[in-house]
């Protein structure tokens, strides 16, 4: 789609949801839904950044997701390692910088190593940033920031919000458009600080079926939204 008449958000965030139901509808095991979601995620991310979006945050594993069956968690951990092995070249060819948000504990060492390599080897890329939220929780992020600030002993008495934001996992701009696929209408502890003034979009489509034309529709809808940031329309 031609985006010249549309408003392009600077920071888009997606809660990747519906992989399990996508698989179930097809009589497949849940992990097949994650495989399909993974393939779609890489393709869609390239498209989104090619349209002028500067930052794309993706909720791919919450701290709560560790409560799932071990086999499903292990499969997702393997996919994170596979992403480093099989997609590093593609990220570099597309000039995409990769960063991560989330806690280390209790990620397996192989995932931490793959994550850190991916960050290091794409650090110089300038064609847009993907922020993978992995083992991520929004309240945990705010709490971790407070702990860092207290440990540093810095005087916060004249701080503004932007000074606090520097202590979050990544210092990224506010989210403009937040998409959650699969028809669920919840934020689920996702980027609580950064989503303060985001426009929300909730398509019913399961993530493995959320393709480029579906993203175009989200941008058409976003373009119609009247963003006032708490002010009054003049
Ligand atoms: C939510 O669907 C999805 C997840 C918890 C995992 C998302 C992971 C991927 C897209 C693949 C791995 C990604 C990378 C970056 C390697 P769900 O399982 O909650 O679906 P359901 O609500 O239908 O059960």
What would the pLDDT profile of 93-141 be if each residue is shown by its tens digit?
999 999 999 999 999 999 999 999 999 999 999 999 999 999 999 999 9
Indicate the DSSP class of residue 105.
T
61 CA distance to ligand 1 centroid (A)?
7
**What residue segments make up the domains of the chain, in order of their start?**
11-137+174-221
Percent of the chain with pLDDT over 90: 96
For residue 176, give every residue at least 6 positions away whose Cβ sits within 8 Å of its Cβ, in sequence order, or none.
9, 10, 11, 12, 198, 199, 222
Residue whose CA lies nearest to ligand 1 atom number 16: 80
What is the distance between the alpha carbons of residues 223 and 171, in angstroms, rounded to a whole number?
26
Cβ atoms of residues 207 and 16 within 8 Å: yes
In tens, the pLDDT along 26-77 reads 999 999 999 999 999 999 999 999 999 999 999 999 999 999 999 999 999 9
pLDDT > 90? residue 234 = no
Direct distance between the N- and C-terminal alpha carbons of the chain, in angstroms, rounded to an integer: 31
What per-residue confidence (pLDDT) applies to 60? 98
pTM score, two decimals?
0.96
User: Residue 81: pLDDT above 70?
Assistant: yes
pLDDT at res. 229: 83
User: Is there an atom of ligand 1 within 6 Å of 41 CB?
Assistant: yes
Q: Which CATH superfamily is domain 11-137+174-221 in?
A: Decaprenyl diphosphate synthase-like (3.40.1180.10)
- Mean predicted lDDT score pLDDT of the chain: 97
The confidence score (pLDDT) of residue 227 equals: 81
* Cα 34 to ligand 1 centre (Å): 5
Q: What angle do CA 116, 122, 126 make, to 5 degrees?
A: 140
pLDDT for residue 8: 98
Residue 231, pLDDT > 90, answer: no
Q: Helix, strand, or coil here: 102?
A: coil
Q: Helices (DSSP H) in the chain: which residue ranges?
A: 19-25, 30-50, 70-93, 109-122, 138-152, 161-165, 212-224
Residue of 22, 57, 60 with the most ligand 1 atoms within 8 Å of its CB, for mutation: 60
| d(CA 208, ligand 1 centre) in Å | 9
**pLDDT tens for residues 122-133?**
999 999 999 999
Find out whether the beta carbon of 31 lies less than 6 Å from any atom of ligand 1: no
Reduce the DSSP state of residue 61 to 3 states and report it. Answer: strand
| Strand ranges across the sheet with 199-201 | 97-101, 129-136, 55-62, 11-15, 177-180, 199-201
List residues with catalytic annotation: 17, 65
**Cβ partners under 8 Å of residue 55, min gap 6:** 10, 11, 12, 128, 129, 131, 172, 173
């Amino acid at each position: 789609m031609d985006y010249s008449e549309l408003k392009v958000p600077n920071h888009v965030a997606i809660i990747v949801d519906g992989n399990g139901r996508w698989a179930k509808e097809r009589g497949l095991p849940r992990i097949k839904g994650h495989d399909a979601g993974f393939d779609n995620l890489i393709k869609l991310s390239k498209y989104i950044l090619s349209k002028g979006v500067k930052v794309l945050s993706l909720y791919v594993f919450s701290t709560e997701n560790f409560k799932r069956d071990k086999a499903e968690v292990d499969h997702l951990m393997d996919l994170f390692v596979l992403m480093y092995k099989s997609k590093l070249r593609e990220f570099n060819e597309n000039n995409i910088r990769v960063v991560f948000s989330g806690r280390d504990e209790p990620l397996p060492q192989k995932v931490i190593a793959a994550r850190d390599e991916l960050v290091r080897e794409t650090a110089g890329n300038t064609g847009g940033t993907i922020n993978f939220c992995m083992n991520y929780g929004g309240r945990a992020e705010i709490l971790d920031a407070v702990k860092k600030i207290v440990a540093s002993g810095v005087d916060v008495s004249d701080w503004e919000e932007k000074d606090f934001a520097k202590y979050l996992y990544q210092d990224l701009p506010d989210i403009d458009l937040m998409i959650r696929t699969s028809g669920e209408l919840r934020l689920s502890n996702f980027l609580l600080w950064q989503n303060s003034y985001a426009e929300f979009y909730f398509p019913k489509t399961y993530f493995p079926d959320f393709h480029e034309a579906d993203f175009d529709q989200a941008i058409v809808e976003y373009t119609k939204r009247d963003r006032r940031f708490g002010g009054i329309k003049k």
